[in-house]
Structure 1
Amino acid sequence: MTAVPDVSAIIPTYNRRELVIRAIHSALAQTREVDEIIVIDDGSTDGTGEALKAAFGDRIISVRQANAGVSAARNRGMAMARGRYIALLDSDDEWMPEKTAKQVDWLEAHPAFGMVLCDVERVDIEGRPIDRFRRRDVIREDGWVLPMVLQDPALAPVSAMFRREVYADIGGFDETLATAEDLDFHLRIASRWQIGVVEEALARAIRGHDGLSSLSRTYDDYTRVIERCVAESGDRVSEQDKSRALAAGYLRNARGAIFDNRFRAAWAWTRKARGTSADPRIRQNVRATVLLGFKRMALNLAGRNKR
C-alpha cells in the first residue's frame, strides 16, 4: 500500500519561467521534505514547460492547461494533491527553509485547527526589502478568528498551510472572481475552521514585477467578497463588527480610487462608508479619507498650473 504523503505544494504559474524555477527550488530546499510538488502551467507561452522539464525532470509533477486564471490553476493542483497538508506557493514567491517543518509541527500540535499562517517578507525583484506582512496585526490570537479577519482579510497564499479536510469542506478558490479570490478563500476557511499563526517570516513575496489588474474590477470583487461574507456570517460576527468591516472595506476602495485620481468614485465609496457605521473610529477614518482626497486634488491642480 502506498503511503499517504505529508505535504503537497501547489504552484500555479503563467509566463514566469525564471521566477517559478526560483519558487520550486525553495520548495525543494525545505528542511522537512515536501512530498509532492505540483506545478500547474496555466497556458504559458514563454517556454515554462520546457524549462521545468530540463531543470527538475520527475522531481516535480508539471501539468499544462489552457489559460484559465490563477484560481482554476490552484484548484486543479489541489484536486490532484494527495498530501495530508496542502501548502500554496505562487510562482513569484519563495519559502524559507524551515517553513514546511514549522507549519507541519504546529498543525500536528493543534489538531482542532484547520490552517496555520506565517509572516511574509515582501521584497522587490532585486530582493530589496519592502515591508513585512505581520499576521498578528490582524489575527491577535489563535482560534475562531472570523471577526478579526473580516476587518482585513488579506491572505498572502504563500503564508498558508491547511489540512486536506479544509479543502474537502470548503472547496477551492472562487473562479468567478478575477481578483480578491484569496480574501474570499481566507474568509470561508475562517467561517468554518480555527486558524493559527506561526510568528516568524517563513516566506518571501516578490512584488512590483507584474502589471496591475483593472482597479475598478478589483474594487468590485473586494466589495463582493466582504458583503457576501457579512451576509452569510450570521451570529458568528456581531452586528457592530459587520458594519465596521463593511465600512472599512468601502474606505479601502475610496483610498484606492483617490490614488487612481478617480475622485467621483472615491466620494461615492466614502459616503457609503459613512452611512454604514457610526463607529467613532470609522468616522475618524472617513474624515481622514476626505482630507486625503482634497490634498490629492490640490496636488493635481498645482501640477497642472505649473505646466
Structure 2
Amino acid sequence: MSARRITAVVPAWNRAALLPETLDRILGQERAPDEVIVVDDGSTDSTPDLLARYAARGVQAVRTANAGDLAARNVGLREASGTLVAFCDSDDLWHPGFLAAMEALWDTEPGLRAAYGNFRIVREGSWSEATKFDDAPAGFWEGMRPMREGAMVFDRPMAERLVRFQPFFPSALVVDRDFLRGAGGWDEGVSGLVGRDFATALRIAEHAPLGILWTPLVGIRKHGSNDSGDVLAMNLGDAEVLDHVLRTRPPFAAHADAFRASAAERRRAALDTAFARGRFEEVRAIARLIPAGALPPLSRAKRAVAGLPEPARAVVARLVMAAGTLKGRLAAARR
C-alpha cells in the first residue's frame, strides 16, 4: 500500500440538495481518500445539519464566513494533511475509479506538480457522450509524453496554450499540496468573477511536470444555480482574469501579447452577445475596454448604433444584426 495520503477538499455554499451525492461519490472511491474536508462557506440552508450527519462517516466540516469558493478551497488546502489534495466542487461527481487513477499517475511520475482529468457534462442525471478534452483545437495536446494507458504528461509549462483553450476544471484536479501552497494557492484576487478558476489554472500550468488523465472520470453537473451558464459573463470574466494575471504575475509578461489578444477577442464576443440582447449601455461599456485597433468594422458599427437615440437605434440594430447574419452565412458557404 502506498504511503501517500490523499485529502479531498469540497467547498460548499448552500448546496444541501446536491452535496449528498457528491460526498457519497467521494466516500465510495475504490481508492478511498484518507481525509475528506468540506469547507462550509457560510451556508444559510441546511448544509451544516447535513454535514453533521456525515461526520460519522469521517467527513470533517470547517465552517467559515462567506468569502467565495476560492477562499474556501484555500482554507481546505491549509487544513489538508494529505500529500496530495483532490478538489471537488459541491455539485460535481467522481467516478469510483477517479482517485485510484490519479494516484497511479504519481506512482508512475512521482515528481508531478499537479494532474487534471478529463470530464463529461451531466444534465439531469445524464452524462454527455462527448468529453471536454474532445473540444481541444488542433495541436493543443502536441508535445505530451505518454505515461501509461490513458495518461500523459507535459514536461514544459503550458500556460500559453490555456489562453487559446481552457479544458481544466477544479473538480478534476489533484495537486501536490506543498507545491500549490508554495505557488500561492487559489488566486483570490479574481473572486466574484465568472470563470475565476482560470487564474489558478494558469498559475498551475506555468509549472511542470503536469499530468493529464485522458479517461473521463469526472462529471460536471449543470443546473440552475451554476454561475457559468452565461456566455457573456464568462467572456468578460475570462478577459478580466487575463488582465489580472498580467498585472500580478511577472512571469507571465512573456505571454503578454497572447494574453492581450485573447482578452480583446473575448470582449469582442461579449460585445456581440450584449448587442444581440439589446443591452446597449453594456455594449458601449465593453467597447471602451477594447483597444481601438482591435475592433473590427462590424463591432465598430455596433458601438455606434448603441449610442443612437431610440427609436432609430432599434431600427438600425436590426439592420446591423441582419448584416452580421448574412456575413456569417457567406463565410460558411466559402468554407
State the shift of 1:122 in Å.
0.8
Can you give the 5+ residue segments of structure 1 that lack an aligned partner in the other structure? 278-282, 299-307
Give the equivalent residue in structure 1 for 2:36: 37
State the shift of 1:132 in Å.
2.9
Q: 1:10 to 1:272 in 2, by over 3 A?
A: same
Q: Please give the alpha-carbon distance, in whole angstroms, between the structure 2 residues aligned to 1:296 and 1:201.
A: 42
Give the equivalent residue in structure 2 for 1:146: 159
Answer with 17-26 or 190-199: which moved more: 190-199
Give the equivalent residue in structure 1 for 2:271: 254
- 2:240 paired with 1:224: yes
Q: 1:145 to 1:214 in 2, by over 3 A?
A: closer
Give the equivalent residue in structure 1 for 2:192: 178
Give the equivalent residue in structure 2 for 1:65: 64
Between the two proteins, the alignment pairs up a number of residues equal to 288
Q: Please give the alpha-carbon distance, in whole angstroms, between the structure 2 residues aligned to 1:34 and 1:81.
A: 12
Q: Please give the alpha-carbon distance, in whole angstroms, between the structure 1 residues aligned to 2:35 and 2:272.
A: 42
Answer with 82-91 or 264-273: which moved more: 264-273
Note if contact 1:4-1:82 (Cα within 8 Å) is conserved in structure 2: no
Give the equivalent residue in structure 2 for 1:303: none
Superposed CA deviations along residues 176-235 of structure 1, whole A, max 9, x for unmatched, are 421232111111112234423111111001112206489787665432310233453456
Q: 1:79 to 1:270 in 2, by over 3 A?
A: same
1:47-86 residue pairs with structure 2 within 5 A?
47-86=46-85
- 2:178 paired with 1:160: no
Note if contact 2:246-2:256 (Cα within 8 Å) is conserved in structure 1: no
Q: 1:171 to 1:4 in 2, by over 3 A?
A: farther
State the shift of 1:48 in Å.
1.4
1:111 alignment partner, SS class: coil
Give the equivalent residue in structure 2 for 1:206: 221
Q: Please give the alpha-carbon distance, in whole angstroms, between the structure 2 residues aligned to 1:167 and 1:257.
A: 37
Percent of residue pairs bearing the same amino acid type: 23
- AA at the equivalent of 1:93: D
What RMSD over aligned residues (CA atoms) do the two structures have, in Å? 3.6
State the shift of 1:49 in Å.
1.7
Runs of at least 4 residues off by over 6 Å? 213-217, 283-287, 293-296
1:63-142 residue pairs with structure 2 within 5 A?
63-127=62-126, 129=128, 132-134=131-133, 137=136, 139-140=140-141, 141=144, 142=154
2:217 alignment partner, SS class: strand
2:113 alignment partner, SS class: strand
1:229-240 residue pairs with structure 2 within 5 A?
229-230=245-246, 232-234=250-252, 236-237=254-255, 239=257
Note if contact 1:226-1:249 (Cα within 8 Å) is conserved in structure 2: no
Note if contact 1:89-1:158 (Cα within 8 Å) is conserved in structure 2: yes
Answer with 48-57 or 59-68: which moved more: 48-57
Answer with 104-113 or 201-210: which moved more: 104-113
Can you give the 5+ residue segments of structure 2 that lack an aligned partner in the other structure? 145-153, 304-316, 323-335
Q: 1:170 to 1:77 in 2, by over 3 A?
A: same
Q: 1:152 to 1:227 in 2, by over 3 A?
A: farther
- AA at the equivalent of 1:159: A
Answer with 24-33 or 166-175: which moved more: 166-175
State the shift of 1:270 in Å.
9.6
2:33 alignment partner, SS class: coil
State the shift of 1:53 in Å.
2.1
Note if contact 2:136-2:165 (Cα within 8 Å) is conserved in structure 1: no
Superposed CA deviations along residues 9-61 of structure 1, whole A, max 9, x for unmatched, are 11011111131111111111111111100001112222212222224525111
Answer with 189-198 or 126-135: which moved more: 126-135
Task: State which structure, 1 or 2, has the greater radius of gyration over its C-alpha atoms.
Answer: 2
Q: Please give the alpha-carbon distance, in whole angstroms, between the structure 2 residues aligned to 1:229 and 1:44.
A: 30
Q: 1:72 to 1:236 in 2, by over 3 A?
A: same
State the shift of 1:264 in Å.
5.2
Answer with 182-191 or 111-120: which moved more: 111-120
TM-score, normalising length from structure 1? 0.78
Q: Please give the alpha-carbon distance, in whole angstroms, between the structure 2 residues aligned to 1:284 and 1:202.
A: 44
Q: Please give the alpha-carbon distance, in whole angstroms, between the structure 1 residues aligned to 2:122 and 2:276.
A: 22
Q: Please give the alpha-carbon distance, in whole angstroms, between the structure 2 residues aligned to 1:66 and 1:247.
A: 36
